[in-house]
Amino acid sequence: MIAEDVQSSIDMIRESARGIVPHGDLTRVRNLRFNDPGFDREVWTKMCEMGWPALRLPEVKGGVELGVLPYCALAEELGRGLLPEPLVHAALSCALLDGSALDAQLSGARLVLPAWQDSRDALWPEKRLGLNNGRISVTKRYVPMATGADAFLVIGTDGVALVRLGATCVSITSSMTQDGGTMATVVFENAEATAIDVDPAPALAEATLATSAYLLGLMDAALEMTVDYLKTRVQFGRTISNFQVLQHMAVDLKLETQVTRASVEDAALRWDRYGPTPETYAAVSRTKARASQAALKLTRDVIQLHGGIGFTDEHDIGLYLRKTIVTGAQFGSADCHRANYARLKPLEEEA
């Protein structure tokens, strides 16, 4: 059961998102595809002005101090509109920054993005930073929208360090992704860095859960678009929504979204109630595994329901599948999270 004050915050956030998230109009998203860095800095500044990156921060750090559940509601709305702006990644950085660096991040004056991934299918950093005399030498891979960053928050097994792009010995090799965004390998070669004494694990877990919520919003929008199409497409003299086999497919996909929503809400409520514990980390992994798998199934099936037109790049339904392929792998794949859940799941669930 969601408390009344929490539900009020969720409703307020969803309403504020409608000013930026274009429901049903993906023109801006299309125009940003295959252009580095893949997002609009002006739109990002508006998101900062609305206080979105500060939702999870305590008031003493300039935040709103809302729970994970309202944050997931916002991520869900962004997923509905396929927004490319890096809210989840920037919010991860906000959770680890402090002082003037955090102030600049919250205002939109600077954008600090996290660089933590060492291999393709990773949940956590796997290599040390090796910070020595204020310098690091490490390579981070699969950094989204890296060329749009003003600085990087580099995360390793031995700590966190802030590296400004003005620092020497930082090289970025960017490539396009399936959805038209960008992903980069960033090499820090004896780069100047400032150590930050903070545990990144809770922030990474919250980013994982928010990514699951983004996928949930994506699923909802793709299914809604498909149901509208089924109601208007005429074949053999009647709308194809009357065909029983298509009705059954649509119902099955609706169930996929409902189960994913229940999983996201349960994990968020557990996190808000108990904080970072082995059980709540397990709930996050369970949710990400479900969201990644369900979103991939749904977006493939809705293209099939659209028929031949669904396979063309000109139809918007294909954008949802492309976004799922990229986003579903971020912060760990379904297989990776299933393995993590098996390792962490509560003993009472084994009984």
Is the pLDDT score of 147 beyond 50? yes
> 47 vs 21, 44, 107, 245, CA distance in Å?
11, 5, 9, 42
How far, in Å, CA of 322 to CA of 64, rounded?
33
Within 50-134, residue ranges assigned H as helices are: 68-80, 87-96, 99-107
**Count of the separate structural domains present in the chain:** 1
Question: Would you say residue 26 lies in a domain?
Answer: no
Domain that holds residue 337: 201-350
Asked which of 50-54, 95-99, 209-213, 306-310 is least confident by mean pLDDT, the reply is 306-310
Q: Could you tell me what percent of the chain has a pLDDT over 90?
A: 80
Q: Could you tell me what percent of the chain has a pLDDT over 70?
A: 95
Question: Would you say residue 55 lies in a domain?
Answer: no
Question: Would you say residue 32 lies in a domain?
Answer: no
Q: Which of 124, 174, 152 is nearest to 331 (CA)?
A: 124
Question: Would you say residue 85 lies in a domain?
Answer: no
Question: Which helix (H) or strand (E) covers residue 282, if one does?
Answer: helix 278-306
Give CA torsion, residues 204, 60, 265, 211, to 10 deg: -30
Question: Would you say residue 272 lies in a domain?
Answer: yes
| Per-residue model confidence as pLDDT tens digits over 92-123 | 999 999 999 999 999 999 999 999 999 988 99
pTM of the entire structure? 0.94
Contact yes or no for 236/120 (Cβ under 8 A): no
Asked which of 14-18, 269-273, 291-295, 335-339 is least confident by mean pLDDT, the reply is 14-18
Is the pLDDT score of 280 beyond 70? yes
Distance of CA 341 to the CA centre of its chain: 19
Is the pLDDT score of 302 beyond 80? yes
| Per-residue model confidence as pLDDT tens digits over 214-235 | 999 999 999 999 999 888 876 6
Question: Would you say residue 160 lies in a domain?
Answer: no
Question: What is the pLDDT, as a whole number, of residue 349?
Answer: 54
CATH number at residue 292: 1.20.140.10
Question: What is the pLDDT, as a whole number, of residue 344?
Answer: 92
Task: Count how many residues are written for the chain.
Answer: 351
Question: Would you say residue 263 lies in a domain?
Answer: yes
Is the pLDDT score of 346 beyond 70? no
Q: Count the helices and strands in the chain (H runs, E runs).
A: 12, 9
Q: What's the mean pLDDT in 154-162? A: 97
Question: Would you say residue 176 lies in a domain?
Answer: no
